[in-house]
Amino acid sequence: MVDTADTGQRGAFTVTLQVQRYVPEFHETPYWDSWTVEMHGTDRVLDALHKIKWELDGSLTFRRSCAHGICGSDAMRINGFNRLACKVLLKDLDISKPIIVEPLKGLPVEKDLIVDMEPFFQSYREILPFLMSNDYEPTHERFQSIEERERYDDTTKCILCAACTASCPVFWTDGQYFGPAAIVNAHHFIFDSRDDAGDLRLEVLNDKEGVWRCRTIFNCTNACPRGIQVTKAIAEVKNAILQHAL
């Protein structure tokens, strides 16, 4: 008999995934498919999706790349919450019931679990997500104190997965709101002591579709797989706009 405690292996179990399917060109409305698969204790939702795609239905479509929580490409709704499929262990879910898997909300579905990320990246581009400095071309690295770096450390962790923006009811209403992820990435540069274009970004986010549409309901913070304090970052940007106006 194998000592599972020593090898780290866990026993097999069956789990049912109920997945929303949809190809706009061929279907009038989304529909559901479900599959029951045998998995193991350390498997994740992404492993179950792979198993279905590779062994049961090759037409099931979803994005993933790194499979280790780094690229941000497999954000989807799992049992009603935006999560990275590669970070959700099946053993942490209630597998006595089907696991419900849907595409992110508020972005157009291209196929099954794949959404069109263009509206998301459009907002990201608008906040000018790159360093802009008025200094001459430096001849050495631009130094910062530990305190200066800490000021925006949290928001550098964003992997642009869209879990926050697609969990925001304000974004769901019309998709015009810049959304938490764009504000998080603006925060990164607004509070970077080496950057000189903070005013420009604050002006962009002072728009009617900018930070003031945030209703502080914390869905974004709860959804973020990187643990970023998204709502706090939005509040800090709001404050910066107010200070800037004084």
Residue with smaller CB distance to ligand SF4, 52 or 73: 73
From the list 25-33, 62-70, 137-145, 203-211, the region that binds ligand FES by CB under 6 A is 62-70
Give the closest residue to 165 by CA, choosing from 118, 101, 96, 95. 118
183 binds, among ligand SF4, ligand FES, none (CB under 5 to 8 A by kind): none
> Rounded to the nearest whole angstrom, what is the least distance from the CB of residue 131 to ligand FES in the complex?
25
Q: Please, how many CA atoms are within 13 Å of residue 62, restricted to the half-sphere of its CB?
A: 32
> Rounded to the nearest whole angstrom, what is the least distance from the CB of residue 139 to ligand SF4 in the complex?
34
Q: Applying CB under 6 A, what is the total number of residues that bind ligand FES? A: 12
Task: List phi, psi (to 5°) of 104.
Answer: -55, 145
C-alpha span between 71 and 236 (Å, rounded)? 26
Site string for ligand FES, 21-60 (x = CB under 6 A): ----------------------------------------
The answer to whether 67 touches 57, Cβ cutoff 8 Å, is no
If you compute the radius of gyration of the chain from its CA atoms, what whole number of angstroms results? 21
86 binds, among ligand FES, ligand SF4, none (CB under 5 to 8 A by kind): ligand FES
162 binds, among ligand SF4, ligand FES, none (CB under 5 to 8 A by kind): ligand SF4
70-89: contacts with ligand FES (CB under 6 A): 70-74, 84, 86
Give the closest residue to 56 by CA, choosing from 81, 31, 43, 39. 39
Residue with smaller CB distance to ligand FES, 71 or 200: 71
Residue 230 parent element (H or E): helix 230-245
